[in-house]
Amino acid sequence: MTVSAPTASLPQRAMMPVLIALSFTHLLNDMIQSLIPAIYPIIKEAYRLDFGQIGLITLTFQVAASLLQPAVGLYTDKHPMPYSMVVGMGFTLSGLIGLAYAGSYGFLLLSAACVGIGSSIFHPEATRMARNASGGQHGLAQGIFQVGGQTGGALGPLLAAFIIVPRGQGSLAWFSVAALVAMMLMVWTAASYARLDRARPPKAAAAAVAQTRPGKRSVAFAITILIILLFSKNAYSASFSSFYTFYLIGKFGISVQNSQVMLFLFLASSAAGALAGGMLGDRIGRNKIIWFSILGALPFTLILPYADLFWTGVLTIVINLIMSSAFAAILIYALELLPGRVGLVGGFFYGLSFGLGGLAAALLGEFADHLGIEMVYKLCSFIPLMGLLAWFLPRLSEGTKGAKVGH
């Protein structure tokens, strides 16, 4: 018994470079995706779009990103395909070039859909690999993986402010280099993961874990609550990713570049929140993190619509720091409820994340056209109240032992 632990830890330590590489590919993948909302102020003027059409671009991208993910995850749970990530990045590359040279609104929608399809192929398999590379520290592993994605998402507005805004829509094509680098890194990651996975000792049977899970009704009830909580998070986040720059420009009269920098600061706080949420979830439990990450933002969201420019910047960073800790905790919680379904759960929840965010963006775009952009932020300030639903989640201790329903 005492000899086996060090032996098992060797492949776990060897997996850390794979986990870091997955985080960096996540960064490149999400950086390219984040260029879509980052160029909205440019294409809104160039193509004479209204807020509803802007929201439809987000909806197209995020629905395309959501439809395939559960199917991809279900398939790769039974037939792992680490190299499928390269194919996904190929779709992303084609969509990126299409966005750079789109001659019509319809082609913008098609190109955004290609980027979404690339994301739908990348996330389920990358999530499964990150889970298996965790060495048992699932929250930490997901936190590291999420840091890459959140950092990449934050870079989009900054790159837009200093490259795309001064040089125009065609400069999007320059970022095809990032897609090519990601494809090469994905090839290395897939090969390294496959080699190390073969060397890893077999896991203990999952039957014991399955016996300690809540019943099917409790699992279905918990998954439903997680979906509602995920929607509340993404609905609020969509108001920023799609319309924050317009809000800042309209209310405070700042330049497009300055609004993009403030959007970067908002999104950059996601990286710290994601890592903290993953690490703390390992220590204090997913329920507490989920509860705090949504409901805890409520006081700040209520104040935000009435703040001046300085405090708007401060409050948005605090809000996103708190709310971004939710996703890793929600995903790991769902994985503990459904062990052995990593690809399916990863694809389902990433897919929901994109799909619900896109739906929210489209609805908020229509509200903005009819009620004004400032009213949208006043209405959205009450969304974190949905965090109260976390009260009804089953309690799961480490390894899903001793699960209890209710509080």
CATH no. for residue 240? 1.20.1250.20
The answer as to whether 5 is a domain residue is no
Residue 8 within a domain: no
CB 229 within 8 A of CB 392: no
C-alpha span between 44 and 47 (Å, rounded): 6
**246 in any annotated domain:** yes
Instruction: For 260-299, write each residue's pLDDT tens digit.
Output: 888 888 877 877 777 777 777 767 777 778 888 888 889 9
Q: What is the pLDDT of residues 52-80, one digit of tens each?
A: 888 888 888 877 877 777 877 788 777 77
User: Does residue 405 register a pLDDT over 80?
Assistant: no
Q: DSSP string spanning 212-228? A: TSPPHHHHHHHHHHHHH
Query: For position 197, what pLDDT does the model report?
Result: 64
User: What are phi and psi for residue 136, nearest 5 degrees?
Assistant: 95, -15
Confidence grade of residue 214 (pLDDT, cut at 50, 70, 90): low
So what's the pLDDT on residue 302? 94
Query: Each residue of 334-375: pLDDT tens digit?
Result: 888 888 777 778 777 777 766 777 778 778 888 888 888 888
| DSSP-based three-state secondary structure for 256 | helix
Asked whether residue 2 is assigned to any structural domain, the reply reads no
Taking the model in full, what pTM does it have? 0.69
168 inside domain: yes
Residue 195 belongs to what domain range? 14-200+209-400
Report the first-to-last Cα separation within the chain, whole angstroms.
38
List, for residues 179-205, the tens digit of each pLDDT value. Answer: 999 999 999 988 887 776 666 555 544
Q: Is residue 6 part of a domain?
A: no
Tell me what pLDDT residue 209 has. Answer: 44
Query: Quick check: is 343 in a domain?
Result: yes
Structural domain tally of the chain?
1
Q: How confident is the model at residue 95 (pLDDT cuts 50, 70, 90)?
A: very high
Is residue 164 domain-resident? yes
- Per the prediction, the chain carries an average pLDDT of 80
147-173 pLDDT per residue, tens: 888 788 878 778 877 888 788 888 899
